[in-house]
Amino acid sequence: MPSPPDLPKRDIVVIGASAGGVEALRGFFHALPADLPAAFLVVLHIPADTPSQLDRVLGASTPLAVKIAQDGEAISNGQVYVASADRHLMVTPQGIRLSRGPKEGRSRPSIDVLFRSAATAFGSRVIGVILSGALDDGTAGLWAVKDHLGVTLVQAPDEAMYSSMPQSAIAHVQVDLVGTVEALAARVGKLVGTAAPEGVQRDNAQLALENHIAMEGNALKAGVMNLGKVSKYTCPDCHGVLVQIEEGPIVRFRCHTGHAFSLKSLMAQVNEAIDTGLWDTLRAVEERVMLLLQMEQLAQASGAGDEAARLHKEAEASEKRIQPLRKLVLDPLFFSHTAKG
């Protein structure tokens, strides 16, 4: 039932997707009623060096107007705003903001950044939708939407091409509906234009601070160290100390330069750092073996047989010692995919 004209309405829909998200988004917008008085803002994880084509893809799936979001533009109903590559998409009461702030969950644009900014700007007017994706970007953002009396919708994990993001949201947030993309679109159609519940105005200093970091950077000056206790871990991106942030069952981390991680994204980044380090070590030891063998040849050529034999023996020993490292770097069980979703 639509709300009276003088009451706030549910009219801000934020949608997050990652791996497998293009098909989910196409299905969602194809099933969505065309004349909804709401603004839709979409974050899909894309490479930083690849211009987004999502506006064209979605434009073929819905009669709604679809465009790449531009910094500073006003938010209009009946419009779909898509995040651009390498920019966080944020919203304020004044309109859209784009930022190249620190990555969150290894991503820019980040779903958490969009959802968190929408929750603080528009409160209970927000409808948050999580679709297919790996890891767990969007969980903390959906928590913020729910905490500000918004509606939370999640694609059914058994329908999602990648179930990790939906599963994480369901496990950590009180979700209002888990369903197919068609069911989510139908629920959005029923919710848009209805009265947004009135509640106590939530002045969340933590979320405001994190919004500031996403927009402006300079996390240390903003007070990032006040967000939680200092953790035992360091940031894989910049090697700064990580602060542990706790929101109900959700545990997150943020460093003094602003990079943010969930437990899963931190594990994925640490695994990547281990992988890089092991391959670097292998390369260095292999170069040591090649140098020893070249020195052996030079010693042999100069008639220093004993020295050549010593160098050959040392090269063999180095090659033998590197074998366990070769096995480790190729071990799929060590680099388990459980953290990648």
> 148 an active-site residue?
no
> 256 an active-site residue?
no
Region of residue 187 (phi > 0: left; psi between -120 and 50: alpha; otherwise: beta):
alpha
DSSP H helices, 176-258, are 181-191, 205-216, 219-222
Pair of tokens at residue 252 = 């997150």
Residue owning tokens 């010692």: 321
CB 250, CB 139: distance < 8 Å: yes
Q: How many helices (H) and strands (E) does the chain have?
A: 10, 13
- Integer CA distances (angstroms), 26 to 47, 59, 60, 131, in order: 19, 9, 8, 11
Long-range contacts made by residues 315-322, C-beta under 8 angstroms, separation at least 24?
315/289, 318/285, 318/288, 318/289, 318/292, 319/289, 321/285, 322/282, 322/285, 322/286, 322/289
Which of 18, 110, 132, 164 is labelled catalytic? Answer: 18
Q: Is the peptide bond before 63 cis (omega within 30 degrees of 0)?
A: no
Helix (H) or strand (E) holding 284: helix 263-301
How far is 274 from 231, CA to CA, in rounded Å?
A: 20
> 262 an active-site residue?
no
Which of 45, 88, 148, 259 is labelled catalytic? Answer: 45
Which of 11, 112, 136, 137 is labelled catalytic? Answer: 137
CB neighbours of residue 146 within 10 Å: 21
Q: Which residues are part of the catalytic machinery?
A: 18, 45, 137
